[in-house]
Amino acid sequence: MSQEQNRLIINCGSSHVSATMVSHKASELKIEKSLSIPLEYDFQNEDAWIDAVSDGIRDVVREGKLSGNAHFIIPGNQVLTKTLHIPSVEKAKQPQVIAFEAQQNLPYDLDEVVWDSQILNDDGMETDILLGACKNETINEFCGAIQKTGLVIESINTSSVLTYAALEYSEPDLEEDVLLINVGARSSTLLFKSEEGFFVRTINLGGNTLTQFISDTLGKDFVESDDIKNRFFVEEDSLEEESSAVKLMQTSIANFSRRFAQEITRSIVMYQRKKGGDSIKRIFITGKGSSSPMVREKLANALDHKIELFNALSGVDLAPELDLDRDTLSFELSEVVGEAIKEFKLTENYGNLNLLPISIRQELRFVRQKPFLAVAAFIICIFPWLIFSGISKESQLNQDYDTELKQDLAPLKSNKILLSENKLKAQILSESISQVEGLVNTKTNWIQFFADLQNSIYNARDVWIDDLTVIRPEVYIDEYDDEYGDDYGYSDNEGLMNNKDSLDYEVILKGKMLVREPSNSINQDVLANRIKQLQASFEDSNFVVASKPPKISWKYLTDGLKVLPFEINLIIDTEKPL
């Protein structure tokens, strides 16, 4: 019989703090207890959230009489989440490459944030990476508030990615391209799922945005408008549609829905461009901000697409005292269910980010090691006595061993010659292995060389590489030799590559440059100079010692295409081979 496991999960949202106890036994996921406390602060002041959530955590711990270890969730508007695509490299090199890409894609230095990543997919050519980062100041204040309650932090995840695990768990046979919208108080998460994995984007629109629309329409302040919104959502089924209050609310919700739909449509286009995905077949929605049927209806009309209500509690059992509130909890607990699924590893690619600072992880590791350290200290204390008691026995044993060793020495001497021969063979094999290891280590050079090329191309702008070929000091046949035909009309040293008998260690780059100037104002000398500047940038790499004059084809421009093919031969330093 499998053992029951329990997890305490505390979801620190923008408008509430909830504490949920989730258990897992065999294949059953069950919510044993759930408690939610609303946050009281100025929702328009984002900096006030950390103080409000600190009070909320303290209140929910006191009211729920909570203790022990807990897993925490912070809202998506506090975390920058991105899905990156990087070249596939061996596992040992992945942390270095991921850190480089993180620095390139985050608007902060890495030492200013707490960040983590998860590999979502690796097809051998390209690796999909989920990246999450939060400011040090926010995380440190958040952890300080938790430690005052006596709870032990196991992990900190972002709500942005956890709904994906709930979708995978509740809809395991869902294969078509879908969009799951999680409407929060301050921000909303758009999660695109396809057969290849998922793509997530956080937008700064949510329930507070609707409150602001109501405030603008009714001329009320934000707090009063939020109260009107909440009362309307509770009573909207019993109100007359022709009443002036309902019509004003319909106007506010319609304006909000149009704004929200515009951002969703823009995100769908961005997703299809990045992932090359098909059109979205189904749209699901969840989150407290989507609990109103009118909001869902207006948003569906604005998108001109059917929107289905996502049931995050599908396949999840509830304690009897919670079952009556299943419909309400379904809107509130999608992230909690996702965190539980992640902890119990019930799906793959579940958004496993941990934004707990390294210093706190080390403290927790020390706390867990205290019992082992106590045992080690005890052993050290009794170790001298054990040595003393063993000395007398050791003396007698040494005499017995001496006799036995003399008897065994004779046959061992006969093997001395054989061992010497094997030692010589081992030295020869060791030298061969060292040569192979040297070849393997050159992979590190490739990673740095690609980083240099990427930096040069980024600075040059409007330039891309179509082909990269390595010519080692041996006979070389260019299989791409006819890609541009004989159309090159510019070369500083024509015929330089025709001498096959004196090849250097070269890397041949073939690519194109986008020409933005109008056709009637194109200056070939200016364009050629841009190619030479790009070539000079390539030469700044530590792996390049020189380069041959570039070859430029003007045929595309002559035919009316605004691209300029080029070929640059880089001479590689033989002391730093690729």
Q: Which CATH architecture has domain 172-313?
A: 2-Layer Sandwich (3.30)
What is the pLDDT averaged over residues 368-394? 66
Q: Would you say residue 492 has pLDDT above 70? A: no
Tell me what pLDDT residue 367 has. 56
Q: How far is CA 429 from CA 86, 91, 418, 435, 499, in A?
A: 37, 27, 17, 10, 39
372 is written with which tokens?
A: 């082992």
List for the chain the helix, strand, coil content (%; round to 5): 50, 25, 25
Arithmetic mean of pLDDT, 152-178? 87
More confident residue, 388 or 155: 155
Query: For position 61, what pLDDT does the model report?
Result: 94
In this predicted model, what pLDDT tens digit does every residue of 3-43 receive, in sequence order?
678 999 999 999 999 999 999 988 789 999 999 999 988 88
Instruction: CATH 3.30.420.380 in the chain: give the residue spans.
Output: 1-160+319-356
Pairing state between β 282-286 and 178-183: parallel
Residue 484 has pLDDT above 50, yes or no: no
Secondary structure (DSSP) of 1-12: -PPPEEEEEEEE
> What confidence category does residue 412 fall into, taking pLDDT thresholds of 50, 70 and 90?
confident
Answer for the pair 185, 18: CB distance below 8 angstroms, yes or no. Answer: no
pLDDT of amino acid 372: 62
User: What would the DSSP string read from start to end of 152-212?
Assistant: EEEEEEEHHHHHHHHHHHH-TT--S-EEEEEE-SS-EEEEEEETTEEEEEEES-SHHHHHH
Q: Is the pLDDT of residue 374 over 70?
A: no
* Cross-strand bridge partners of residue 25: 28
Give the whole-angstrom CA distance, residue 114 versus residue 138: 10
Top-confidence residue, 494 or 573: 573
CATH 3.30.420.40, the chain: domain bounds:
172-313
**% of the chain beyond a pLDDT of 70:** 87
| Residue 359 neighbours by CB distance under 10 Å | 10
What stretches of 236-329 adopt beta strand conformation (E)?
282-286, 307-309, 316-318
Residue 73 — pLDDT band, cuts 50, 70, 90? very high
Axis crossing angle, helix 136-149 with helix 49-64, rounded to the nearest 10: 20
- Residues 245-254 have a mean pLDDT of 88
The candidate with the shortest Cα–Cα distance to 35, out of 16, 14, 54, 53, is 16
C-alpha 276: how far from its chain's center? 19
| Mean pLDDT on 548-574 | 89
Q: Which of 10-14, 345-349, 388-392, 427-431 shows the lowest mean pLDDT across its residues?
A: 388-392
Tell me if 86 sits within 8 A of 101, measured CB to CB. yes
- What is the structure's pLDDT at 501? 46
Average pLDDT over the chain, rounded to an integer: 84
pLDDT value, residue 2 = 55
For residues 328-357, give the mean pLDDT.
Answer: 86
Q: What are phi and psi of 446, to 5 degrees?
A: -60, -40
Model pLDDT, residue 392: 60
Judged by average pLDDT, the poorest of 26-35, 165-174, 178-187, 311-320 is: 165-174
Residue entry with tokens 């097809």: 123
With contact defined as beta carbons under 8 Å apart, do 84 and 20 qualify? Answer: no
pTM of the model: 0.63
The residue count of the chain comes to 578
CA distances to 351, 499, 539, 543, 567 from 503, rounded to whole Å, are 50, 7, 18, 17, 17
Residue 1: pLDDT over 60: no
Asked if residue 128 lies in contact with residue 83, where contact means CB atoms within 8 angstroms, the answer is: yes
In this structure, are residues 280 and 302 in contact, taking their beta carbons and an 8 Å threshold? no
Residue 477 has pLDDT above 90, yes or no: no
500 pLDDT higher than 70: no
Of 57-71, 244-258, 415-429, the range with the highest mean pLDDT is 57-71
Other Cβ atoms less than 10 A from the Cβ of 449: the count is 20
Q: Are strands 152-158 and 69-74 parallel, antiparallel or unpaired?
A: parallel
Bridge-based pairing of strands 197-203 and 188-194 is antiparallel
Q: Which of 144-153, 402-411, 553-562 has the highest mean pLDDT?
A: 144-153
**Which of residues 415 and 458 earns the better pLDDT score?**
458
Amino acid, res. 35: L
Rounded mean pLDDT, 339-363: 82
Query: What is the pLDDT at residue 496?
Result: 42
Cα–Cα distance, 76 to 128 (Å, whole number) = 20
- CATH class held by domain 1-160+319-356: alpha beta
Residue 513 Cα to chain centre, angstroms: 31
Residue 495 has a pLDDT of 43
